[in-house]
Amino acid sequence: MNNLKTFFPNVVLTGAGVIKEIPYWVNHFNGRRVLLVTDSNIYKLGFANKIKDTVSAGSIDLVIWDGVIANPDLATVKKGLDALNKDNCDFIIGLGGGSVLDAAKAISVSATNGGDVRKCLGLYRITKRGLPMILIPTTSGTGSEATQASVLVDEVNDTKVAIYSEYNMADIVILDYELTYDLPSKVTADTGIDALCHAIEAYVSKGSSDFTDLMSLSSIEKAGKYLVRAYTNGKNDKEAREGMADSAFYAGMGFCGAGLGGAHGLAYPLIDYNLSHGRSVGVFLPWVMEYNLSCAEEKFSNIASALDKSCASLSVREAARKSIDIVKGVLKSLDISYKLSDYGVEKGKLSSMAEIAVNSTKRLLKFNPKHISVEDGQEIYKKAY
């Protein structure tokens, strides 16, 4: 077993309607004025005002700032920090998908670590806790509410950067299932396959431990039971919505300790093809599983059994192979093609895309159970075409 390294939010509240407990927890952390960080889409859905009403009833001031953009950059964090300072806020609520939660975390630690997000970037560089913070995911996918990472864009150097710190975490996570009941089906599919990809990559990761395996396998089991149900009948299937919210959170708990792998790494260049993050990693998931199969057969057989209990009667080798077919079946049921040719990728660009992916994402690929060289990445790209 690897040495254990994982990170925990202090409090996790789950259930339909649990946002009503927010005033108690703001008071508990001595918050007097709250900055609610979100984006304009979530604001339009009315969730932010619903929380404002709940908090105001508890005599706490709350200011809504809906300025987070998709793939937030460092300038966005600065704007959020300006909003925080302008209104003298001392407590943060992040409400939204992964981009919003990553930005909320970055605003929180920037506020208490000198006020400059650039000085917070990197591995464990910051020395102080962020402002007290509640994170409330509105999608079931990124797992950002569970992790110690904020992935951001450095708009000056045109590159992805990140904050990793035990201080860059939620004090309180609220999984209020009601916020996910009306997710559009395409968002359900894309974020759900991201969660499943997190769980599978973390489970077979070189960085996995007994603890992260427990979280990852539970996540896989729930995704096997609920993901397609949430996609096909989410409006009427609360049990599936709740199962997927838990699945995404468990996956976050798994990968924040274990790391990710080849599907997340190789998907990196697809950002230029207007694919959502979830869809781009979903394309590579079965192909990377196939590549990894020989060096983690037992784990892949466990994945098959977690996704489909009938696989428990198969031999380890048969079940391991079957895990790939099951994942392809899930992708088909979600109407997500796992062929690059279906997304307008030009055949002539495969080699250079693979080279860029492998060279740009070594921080992810180092956890993949089997080494991926540029040539290996090019082979996987060819198969995925």
Contacts with Fe ion, residue ranges (CB under 5 A): 194
What minimum distance in Å lies between the beta carbon of 137 and Fe ion? 13
Residue 266: CB minimum distance to Fe ion, A: 13
- Judged by CB, which is closer to Fe ion: 39, or 194? 194
Shortest CB 105 distance to Fe ion, Å: 16
Q: How far is the CB of 281 from Fe ion (least distance, A)?
A: 5
Q: What are the start-end ranges of the E strands in the chain?
A: 11-14, 33-37, 61-65, 91-96, 122-123, 133-137, 149-154, 159-164, 172-175
Using the minimum distance from each CB to Fe ion, give the nearer residue, 110 or 150.
150
Which residue minimizes CB distance to Fe ion? 194
**Neighbouring residues of 256: CB distance < 8 A, sequence distance ≥ 6:** 6, 7, 143, 146, 147, 148, 149
- Rounded Cα distance, 290 and 217, in Å: 19
Query: For residue 355, what are the CA distances in angstroms to 60, 245, 341, 372?
Result: 52, 35, 18, 11
Min separation Cβ 142 and Fe ion, Å: 6
Cα–Cα distance, 131 to 134 (Å, whole number): 10
What is d(CA 243, CA 199) in angstroms, rounded to the nearest whole number? 14
Assess contact for 37 and 94: CB atoms under 8 A: yes
Name the DSSP letter for residue 10. Answer: S
Which one, 60 or 331, has the nearer CB to Fe ion? Answer: 331
Taking the least distance from each CB to Fe ion, the nearer of 190 and 194 is: 194
d(CA 341, CA 210): 38
195 or 306, CB closer to Fe ion? 195
* Residue closer to Fe ion (CB basis): 194 or 308: 194
Closest to Fe ion by CB, 21 or 102: 102
For the bound state, the minimum distance from the C-beta of residue 364 to Fe ion, rounded and expressed in Å, comes to: 10
Neighbours of 262 (CB within 10 A): 31
Q: Which of 175, 113, 192 is nearest to 150 (CA)?
A: 113
Q: How far is the CB of 33 from Fe ion (least distance, A)?
A: 33
